[in-house]
């Protein structure tokens, strides 16, 4: 064998070995991230999100480790978008409505009041109806990328008097935060009262309010709200908050394809798991409530839900005029609902 041939073979072997080491290095790359949630530690959603992070570590064979922190651990809930953008956090799992002050489209897509009667409808809209594409148009200018969307489940509406029809909302003093939900209830004839969540219990107890847009059935029951508001509506007809699972865009763009796929697949799985687990928890609480002669669970009819949705749509139209992305949320959501005969 001549020297040139030996040299060429050694060089080729060196290149092959170098590529092998490079491939192994890429596969062994370790990502350690911190994601903040919008829940306190111990809440069911927080535990589901922690379990998601553990599954990501398993699926990635240890290449991705995600620390899940509760609300306020690093920054306040309304500042996580900026924190992810600047790299203070690497990601968050949160309700986009917190960022409505930055762009009203966050509020529209984060909780389009009255739109959704089933979490599965919302998840389908995000996947197949254009929701995820619009959200990334909204969030990527901030240096953040949406991995996928989840949903908390339909909120309940505890009330001191029965709400079986939309007309029963007339004159009802209802706790509602400022924004779209406040305006929609006002359009429906109710008298919204803007109170922090921490005051819902005492306000119902003292008669300051008659009803409350607050949270899911199981939590309302565990906090004792049905003692003073024994006519809860479930499933709720008004509010279904989104969970945006997002990551710093520069980090996302630098990930290999297999890790991007793992993250997207795992978030999709978590979205369905969260919806089902929270519904199961609510149904257990509803079963207990139905055995209490002093609590009367009301399920508003599909016809009345459609009436409420028509009222809400008037407010959606007002928000749609705020900017182009708001209009896109409106157009795609209404088209989706009409295609499925929900409007």
Between the alpha carbon of residue 76 and those of residues 5, 20, 94, 199, the distances in Å are 66, 45, 12, 20
Domain-wise residue ranges, the chain: 31-152+240-281, 166-239+297-339
Q: Mean pLDDT over all residues of the chain? A: 91
For the whole model, what pTM was predicted?
A: 0.84
- Crossing angle, helix 257-290 and helix 44-59, to 10 degrees? 150
Residue-level pLDDT at 117: 85
Q: Is 170 strand, coil or helix?
A: coil
Nearest partner of 190 among 213, 219, 206, 156, judged by Cα: 213
Report residue 343's pLDDT band, with 50, 70 and 90 as the boundaries: confident
Residue-level pLDDT at 186: 97
Arithmetic mean of pLDDT, 307-326: 96
- The yes-or-no verdict on residue 225 having pLDDT over 80 is yes
Arithmetic mean of pLDDT, 272-292: 95
168-192 pLDDT, tens per residue?
999 999 999 878 999 999 999 999 9
Q: Rounded CA gap, 20 and 30, in Å?
A: 18
Quick check: do 31-152+240-281 and 166-239+297-339 share a fold?
Answer: yes
31-152+240-281 under CATH 3.30.200.20, yes or no = no
In CATH, the architecture of 166-239+297-339 is 3-Layer(aba) Sandwich (3.40)
Q: Which of 10-14, 100-104, 194-198, 244-248 has the lowest mean pLDDT?
A: 10-14
Report residue 156's pLDDT band, with 50, 70 and 90 as the boundaries: very high
Half-sphere exposure of 37 (CA within 13 A, CB side): 23
């Amino acid at each position: 064998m001549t020297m040139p041939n030996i040299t060429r073979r050694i060089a080729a072997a060196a290149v092959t070995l170098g590529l092998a080491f490079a491939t192994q290095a890429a596969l062994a790359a370790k990502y350690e991230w911190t994601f903040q949630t919008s829940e306190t530690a111990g809440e069911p959603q927080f535990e589901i999100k922690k379990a998601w992070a553990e599954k990501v570590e398993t699926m990635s064979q240890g290449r991705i480790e995600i620390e899940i922190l509760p609300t306020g651990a690093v920054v306040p809930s309304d500042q996580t978008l900026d924190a992810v953008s600047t790299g203070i956090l690497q990601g968050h799992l949160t309700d986009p409505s917190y960022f409505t002050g930055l762009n009203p489209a966050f509020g529209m897509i984060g909780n389009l009041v009255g739109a959704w009667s089933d979490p599965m409808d919302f998840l389908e809209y995000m996947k197949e109806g254009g929701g995820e594409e619009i959200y990334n148009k909204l969030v990527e200018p901030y240096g953040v990328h949406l991995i996928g969307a989840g949903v908390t489940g339909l909120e309940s509406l505890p009330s001191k008097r029965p709400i079986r029809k939309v007309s029963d909302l007339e004159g009802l003093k209802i706790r509602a935060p400022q924004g779209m939900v406040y305006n929609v209830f006002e359009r429906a004839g109710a008298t919204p009262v803007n109170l922090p969540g921490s005051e819902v219990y005492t306000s119902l107890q003292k008669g300051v309010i008659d009803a409350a847009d607050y949270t899911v059935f199981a939590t309302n029951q565990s906090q004792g709200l049905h003692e003073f508001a024994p006519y809860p509506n479930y499933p709720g007809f008004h509010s279904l908050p989104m969970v945006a699972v997002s990551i710093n865009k520069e980090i996302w763009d630098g990930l290999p394809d297999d890790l991007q796929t793992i993250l997207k697949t795992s978030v999709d799985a978590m979205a369905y798991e969260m919806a089902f687990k929270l519904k199961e928890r609510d149904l257990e609480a509803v079963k207990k409530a139905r055995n209490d002669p002093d609590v009367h669970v009301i399920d508003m009819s599909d016809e009345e839900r459609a009436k409420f949705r028509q009222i809400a749509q008037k407010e959606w139209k007002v928000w749609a005029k705020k900017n182009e992305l708001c209009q896109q949320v409106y157009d795609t959501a209404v088209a989706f609902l009409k295609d499925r005969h929900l409007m």
